[in-house]
Amino acid sequence: MRRFLPLCLILATWACARVRLTSGTVPCRRTLATLSDPDPRVNECLQRYNFPPDPFPWRMEATAAAETHLVYHVTFPSPRRYEMAECNTVHAEYYVPARPGRRAPGVVVLDILDGSFVVARMVARHFASAGIPSLIVKMPYYGERRAAGTSLYRTFVGKPQRMLEAIEGTVADVRRAACWLQQQPEVDPRRIGLIGVSLGGIIGALAVAVDPRFDRNVLVLAGGDPVDILWHAPETGGVRDRLMELGYTLERLRQESQAIDPITFGKRVNPRQVLMINASADTTVLRRNTLALWEAFGRPAIQWYPAGHYSISLFIPAILPTAAQFILSAPTGR
């Protein structure tokens, strides 16, 4: 009988998953504030991320159950409109503790560049097991948000401006996702956080600098000046080469992309609400990019691991508990 207990627990949690609401409308007028900044230059860039606080519909379907957590597929309309119709619906994966106690911080999870969601799902599973409801928000052109039969590489190399469009659009999607999280019964609406890794960390840095609701944020392998990272990282060489064919230089692209650089909004960030985790031998997000973001964000807590951009995975057993504890340290009231 004892050996069947885990199976019984999984079946019980799956049954509980079936009684949740599977659709609804989020009234976000009270949670989605209009963004503004006293600095005229910053305020002009900030307006790119404003959109009307209209209510929006959502749907949710249970997809998996484990002993420690449940998984749901969530969809809602993006506040942006794209040429590729698949991008207009946000797809997300919601990881919920199987037996939630008191309301806990809700966290948005942003994945790395490759689009496999392996890293994001590992983070979300760990967080949900630690009692933290976690929502993986898929970027435009990723997963179900890309036309069938098209690769991510060809999507971005064919029209490299899409990568910049996706960065900006993800922030708008994340703002709307935060409104959804704040409505969930297991989430404390006053405690919304974010964790992003690599590209997800860069976009996450932008999101937390834009929207003050994110009050506990872990940025892994992140840096500032994303155009410089795109220009020099080996992973984005094809996009860079295509941009050069179109007549772009590093300086021209940097000038036209200030609204997607988290450094632009750095003074809006409370450094006590950020933990940075970086690799000392990273050749993708260079040390200069990390330090530029760290300075712009007011020198938040930062941990360096003796590793490269990929070999830092050896330290995952240390990084995930540290990140979860930082998220859980968010104050219960403001």
Q: Which domains does the chain have, with CATH numbers?
A: 23-328 (3.40.50.1820)
Q: Is 78 exposed, middle or buried (0-12, 13-18, 19+ CB in 10 A)?
A: buried
Helices (H), the chain: 5-17, 40-46, 118-129, 152-158, 161-182, 199-210, 226-232, 237-245, 250-256, 287-296, 316-328
210: pLDDT strictly greater than 90: yes
d(CA 207, CA 190): 17
> How many angstroms separate the CA atoms of 202 and 219, rounded?
8
Question: What is the model's pLDDT at position 269?
Answer: 98
- pTM, two decimals, is 0.92
Q: CB–CB of 108/193 below 8 Å?
A: yes
- pLDDT (tens digit, 9 = 90+) per residue, 104-130? 999 999 999 998 999 999 999 999 999
Query: Of all residues in the chain, what percent carry a pLDDT higher than 70?
Result: 93
Q: Which residues contact 151 (CB under 8 A, 6 or more apart)?
A: none
**Residue 23: Cβ-neighbour burial (10 angstroms; 0-12, 13-18, 19+):** exposed
Distance between CA 186 and CA 31 in Å, rounded?
17
Rounded Cα distance, 180 and 57, in Å: 10
6 vs 16: CA distance, rounded Å = 15
What pLDDT score does 332 carry? 64
For 233-272, the pLDDT digits (tens) are 999 999 899 999 999 999 999 999 999 999 999 999 999 9
Q: Which two structure tokens, joined as six digits, stand for 108?
A: 């948005």
Model pLDDT for residues 40-83, shown as the tens digit of each residue: 999 999 999 999 999 999 999 999 999 999 999 999 999 999 99
